[in-house]
Structure formats: C-alpha cells, structure tokens
Amino acid sequence: MLQGMRRRRLLDTAIDAALGLTAAGAGIAVDLAAHRSTGLSVAAQVAGAGALLVRRRWPYLTAGVLSLLNVFVPVWATVFAPYALVAFTGDRARWRPWAAVGLLAVTFLIGARAWEIADPFSAPLVILCSSLLGLYARARVRLAAEATLRAVGQARADERVRLAGEMHDVVTHRLNLMVLQAGALRLTAPDDPTRKSAEELRIAGVQALTELRDLVGVLRDGGDPARVSDQPGDLDGDVSRLVEDSRSVGLPVRFVATGDQSRPSPVVRRTVVRIVQEALTNVHKHAPGAATSVTVTFADEGISVEVVNGRSTGATRDLPVGGSGLTGLRHRVEMVGGSLEAGPASGGGFRVSARLPAYVPTGRP
C-alpha cells in the first residue's frame, strides 16, 4: 500500500512537472511569435510554470502567484490552475475556488490589455473549461468514494448474513438438543430436586434460544433495532425475572421501578432488559456476592436505567469471557437513540447507567 502511494505521488509530480514545462514553453513561444518576448516575460512564464508544481497541495497559493504575475505579464500557466482549484480543494464554502478562478481570469485580462494582446478572450474561455473539467474530476472522485463505501457496506451485510446463518444452523441446533434433553430429564428424574433443576435448565435454554433468535435477527437486518423483538411483553416482569434469577444464585439484588411502564415501545423494552441482563452478568463475573441495586425510572422525557453494585464479597468466578459486553451494549443503546455510561462507582464497585427515549417507532419488514 505504501509503495502504491509512493508511485502515485511520483506520478502526480511527473504530471505537474510536464504541465509546467508545457506551460512555460507555450508561453515563451507565444510571446516570441508575437514579438513580445523580454527578460520579464520569460521570467514570468517560468515562475508561473513553477507555481504549478504545488497546485495539488496548495492550489490557492498557486492561484495567488499566478494572479500577481498576470498583472504584469499574461502567464499562460494560468489555464492549468483552475482545474486544481476546483478538483483539489475541499472547502465547505464552495464560492472560494470559484472566486479564485474569477480572480485569475480578471488579472489575465488586465495583463492582456497591458500587453495589447489581439485576442484576450480565448484564455479566459480556456480558464472556464479548465474549471469545469476540475468540477467533473471532483464529482468522479466523490462517486468513486461513495461506490467504495457502498461496496464495503454490502460486504459487511453479506458477512452478517453468513454469520447469522451459521449461528442459526449450529448453535440453535445444539440448544434445541439441550432443551429436549432437559425436558426428558424432568420427566424421568427419580427425585424432585433433580426434576426442578431440569426444569430450570429447560427454561434457561428456551430463553437462550429466544435471545439467539433476536441476535440472528440483528445480524440479518443490519442492526435495525425496530425490526427485532417487537412483541410488547411485560417489562417489569422481564426485569423482575432477571433479578429473581440472580437472587436464586446468592446475589443480593434490590429492584425499584417507578413511573408509567406502559409508555415504552417494544424495542425500548427489550433494550432495558438487555442493559439489566448485561450489568447483572458482569456482577456475577467480577463481583460475586456484592450488594446490587437495579433502578428503572419511567418518565415522559425518557427512561433511565441504573445498575450499581458494591464491593465483591467472594472470589471472582471462572465464567466465560471475551464477548462484546459493554461495547456491544453501548452500540445497542445508541441504535435506539440513547446513551450509556459505565465506570467505577463511588465507594467502590461499579455503575452502569443508561438513558433511553420512551418511544422508538417499530417497523415490520
């Protein structure tokens, strides 16, 4: 890649040098043919041609030098500068390159009048054509960049679809087997504790399948949150079940929900559940046994979710790690127009806080 960039720079420099030599030779030849050649005119033509060497990096400097020279001697290198002004500048103020082009044309006319050139209007016409050619080149570059971005986006979408297919074919198959085996164990187990554990395992497997289908939907739909999990559900019940699951394995969790819970749209409901789920999972991993509070507040202006845990009271558990974690959660929150903060809490522990809009339109494919 670096070699390609070097070759490109060398090619650009060679092109600018060739244009400079052409402009200098043409200007001197025209002056000689018209018997206007003097030391001043030759020096002006050479200086103008030299200014073309920096037209890509400093196009306005090139235009300024040529405009100054044109006042004294009409420099024929001027016809190459407008292309650079329009093609190589990225000004948000679109009038600037065109103002510089106009200045070049006016100063050339001033020089042509002073030197009594018989046809002073052909060069300004060529200046205009050079500007239009630069405009065309700039449009081509933009179209190429947009095509590249579209190609990259399509490649990513294809990769998401491929990953979604693999996850659906492989992981869901294994989970279905686990659920079926847990159901069979519940029916054949000889004692109640085993049957209860088997049922809990079956329920956890069913929930995992549901969440996996959500994830596959996100991958296939390109991360559009409005096309995933659009069933209303019971938000308080979903979060309460997460809290109860954590309590059942020894994590002291306090849950408080305030406000009107009927307002959030389905995708916001699902996002709230995901925030609480990820935060509680992190507590189990990194701070087992820590006192934890889950607070969900519903208001007209939006929903706030906060999960705060204290210091760990047990050894860190050897649980699977390496997922997207809070980074993926932040991306999901931002997709619905919210914001997420995560960091150490005062007095030790950790705090996860999110702000979400109350309503996000749900669209079906």
**pLDDT digit string, tens, across residues 15-30:** 878 888 888 887 787 7
Higher pLDDT, 261 or 92: 261
- Ramachandran class of 39: left when φ > 0, alpha when ψ lies in -120 to 50, beta otherwise: alpha
Establish if 132 belongs to a structural domain: no
Indicate if 57 and 102 belong to the same structural domain: yes
Token pair listed for 272: 């709230």
Indicate if 216 and 315 belong to the same structural domain: no
| In contact, 108 and 68? CB cutoff 8 Å | no
Token pair listed for 108: 């050339």
Which of 69, 98, 120 is the C-terminal boundary of a domain?
120
Which of 223, 240, 268 is the C-terminal boundary of a domain?
223
**pLDDT digit string, tens, across residues 140-169:** 888 888 888 888 878 877 777 777 777 666
DSSP structure class, residue 132: H
| Interatomic CA distance for residues 20 and 142, integer angstroms | 27
DSSP structure class, residue 170: I
Q: Identify the pLDDT of residue 122.
A: 77
- Output b/e per residue, 338-361; b: 16+ Cβ within 10 A: bebebeebeeebbbbbbbbebebe
Which of 201, 223, 245 is the C-terminal boundary of a domain?
223
Percent of the chain past pLDDT 90, that is, above it, reads: 7
Percent of the chain past pLDDT 70, that is, above it, reads: 80
CB atoms within 10 A of CB 235: 22
Indicate if 100 and 211 belong to the same structural domain: no
Q: Identify the pLDDT of residue 322.
A: 44
**pLDDT digit string, tens, across residues 302-314:** 899 999 998 876 6
**Mean confidence (pLDDT) of the chain:** 79
Establish if 130 belongs to a structural domain: no
Token pair listed for 4: 């390609």
Establish if 185 belongs to a structural domain: yes
**pLDDT digit string, tens, across residues 195-253:** 888 888 888 887 777 767 766 666 665 544 444 444 445 566 678 888 888 888 788 99
Indicate if 238 and 219 belong to the same structural domain: no
Q: Identify the pLDDT of residue 273.
A: 87
Q: Identify the pLDDT of residue 131.
A: 87
Indicate if 294 and 349 belong to the same structural domain: yes
| In contact, 60 and 100? CB cutoff 8 Å | yes
**pLDDT digit string, tens, across residues 313-324:** 665 544 444 445
**pLDDT digit string, tens, across residues 261-295:** 776 777 788 888 889 988 888 888 888 888 999 99
Indicate if 197 and 213 belong to the same structural domain: yes
Q: What is the CATH number of the domain that holds 344?
A: 3.30.565.10
- Output b/e per residue, 254-284; b: 16+ Cβ within 10 A: ebebeeebeebbbbbbbbbbbbbbbbbebbb
| Domain of residue 64, residue span | 2-120
Establish if 150 belongs to a structural domain: no
Number of domains in the chain: 3
Establish if 284 belongs to a structural domain: yes
> Residue 170: which residues within 8 A CB-CB, separation 6 or more?
none
Q: Give Cα 60 distance to the centre of its chain.
A: 31
**Predicted TM-score of the model (pTM):** 0.44
DSSP 254-275: EEEEES-TTSS-HHHHHHHHHH
Among 29, 24, 101, CA closest to 62: 101
Strands, sheet with 292-299, edge to edge from the N-terminal-most edge strand: 253-258, 292-299, 302-309, 350-356, 339-344
Indicate if 292 and 177 belong to the same structural domain: no
| Interatomic CA distance for residues 294 and 278, integer angstroms | 12
Indicate if 263 and 193 belong to the same structural domain: no
Indicate if 209 and 292 belong to the same structural domain: no
Establish if 325 belongs to a structural domain: yes
Helices (H) and strands (E) in the chain, counts: 11, 5
